[in-house]
């Protein structure tokens, strides 16, 4: 769990973790320099659950690097790993459900993720996120992240892969998007759970990223694309993948190289090259937005 000035919401999330039907859990909390009572709340929670909670100091470089530093510090036998925001609420079956989906016989790296409820407690409103009906693979991951960090669980092979990769990777925009890219580019499997959401994703003014729902937020995103924010994030992801190039499958290396070259092309040639790669977003509105950005060189 990445923590930064989360005292207002931490008790609800911590209580939901304590109430998990799967009892064999261990919580690592990385506090990134909180100035409120976050550390006090965490210490009291640790006292109530002896041997199950560890509090460490974050790197002070933002939410993504806080999570990346925790991945780097995992032990060799870390096993199954989830990622928790400080202000959400988990259904008691969240961990058990993810484990059930991931516990298969072979040793392939696997990432579990799924839907969540957009939760507006100040309005008394809650709405489920959309189902993801297209495959989760590198052609999707290059231009869209569907693996929301607060829903992710890694199996032991994926945990080992992530730990190996993060030690060679620089700054990234978002740890969850990086994980989606890494697992798919290294030949792993991503399982998206379209069943009923088991997490309430709290929406408030202090969200690090937030849902981006509503016309105002959508407009802000479009303005961000025009300013080059999306292009910069894609470039950051490509830089991170290049840092672990030798870990990737040959097919992934070719796709990433062709995608990088297509982004640098001009006009119609850029659109032709991108189309040949078959990259896609899950929803048709998002897919149209991608092509709009591509047409003006903002991918």
Residue 152 tokens read as 């992710």
Predicted confidence at residue 223, as pLDDT, reads 74
Asked if 277 and 260 count as a contact pair (C-beta separation under 8 A), the reply is no
The span from the CA of 270 to the CA of 262, in Å, is 5
The span from the CA of 260 to the CA of 177, in Å, is 17
- DSSP lists the bridge partners of residue 201 as 118
Predicted confidence at residue 227, as pLDDT, reads 78
Q: Which of 92, 82, 72 is nearest to 21 (CA)?
A: 92
User: Phi then psi for 82, rounded to 5 degrees?
Assistant: -110, 165
Residue 272 CB partners (closer than 8 Å, separation 6+): none
Residue 150 CB partners (closer than 8 Å, separation 6+): 83, 84, 85, 88, 116, 199, 201
DSSP assignment, residue 129? P
Q: Can you give the pLDDT of all 299 residues of the chain as single tens digits? A: 999 999 999 999 999 999 999 999 999 999 999 999 999 999 999 999 999 999 999 999 999 999 999 999 999 999 999 999 999 999 999 999 999 999 887 889 999 999 999 999 988 899 999 999 999 999 999 999 999 999 999 999 999 999 999 999 988 999 999 999 999 999 999 999 999 999 999 997 766 665 555 555 555 665 776 678 999 999 999 999 999 999 999 999 999 999 999 999 988 999 999 999 999 999 999 999 999 999 999 99
Q: Which of 186, 185, 191 is nearest to 141 (CA)?
A: 185
The span from the CA of 279 to the CA of 269, in Å, is 16
Record the pTM: 0.93
Asked if 212 and 225 count as a contact pair (C-beta separation under 8 A), the reply is no
The span from the CA of 202 to the CA of 89, in Å, is 8
Characterize 77-113 residue by residue with b for buried, 16 or more Cβ atoms within 10 angstroms of its Cβ, and e for exposed.
ebebbbbbbbbbbbbeebbebbbebbeeeeeebbbbb
Asked if 25 and 54 count as a contact pair (C-beta separation under 8 A), the reply is no
Predicted confidence at residue 210, as pLDDT, reads 56
State the alpha helices, DSSP H only, in the chain: 10-18, 38-48, 63-72, 94-102, 138-141, 156-166, 175-185, 214-226, 229-243, 250-264, 267-277, 284-295
């Amino acid at each position: 769990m990445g923590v930064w000035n989360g005292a207002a919401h931490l008790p609800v999330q911590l209580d939901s973790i304590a109430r998990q039907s799967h009892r064999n859990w261990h919580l690592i909390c990385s506090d990134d320099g909180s100035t409120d009572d976050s550390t006090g709340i965490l210490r009291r929670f640790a006292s109530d659950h002896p041997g199950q909670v560890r509090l460490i100091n974050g790197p002070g470089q933002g939410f993504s690097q806080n999570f990346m530093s925790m991945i780097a510090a995992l032990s060799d036998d870390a096993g199954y790993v989830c990622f928790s925001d400080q202000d959400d609420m988990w259904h008691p079956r969240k961990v058990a459900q993810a484990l059930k989906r991931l516990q298969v016989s072979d040793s392939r790296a696997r990432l579990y993720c799924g839907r969540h409820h957009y939760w507006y407690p100040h309005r008394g409103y809650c709405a489920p996120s959309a189902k993801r009906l297209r495959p989760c693979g590198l052609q999707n991951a290059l231009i869209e992240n569907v693996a929301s960090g607060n829903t992710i669980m890694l199996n032991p092979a994926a945990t080992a892969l992530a730990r190996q990769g993060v030690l060679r990777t620089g700054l990234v925009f978002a740890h969850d998007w990086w994980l989606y890219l890494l697992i798919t580019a290294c030949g792993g499997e991503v399982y998206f759970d379209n069943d009923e959401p088991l997490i309430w994703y709290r929406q408030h003014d202090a969200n690090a990223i937030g849902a981006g729902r509503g016309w105002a937020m959508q407009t802000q995103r479009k303005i961000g694309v025009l300013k080059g924010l999306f292009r910069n994030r894609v470039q950051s992801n490509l830089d991170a993948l290049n840092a672990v190039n030798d870990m990737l499958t040959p097919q992934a290396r070719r796709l990433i190289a062709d995608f990088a070259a297509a982004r640098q092309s001009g006009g119609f040639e850029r659109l032709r090259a991108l189309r040949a790669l078959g990259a896609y977003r899950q929803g048709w509105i998002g897919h149209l937005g991608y092509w709009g950005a591509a047409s003006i060189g903002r991918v």
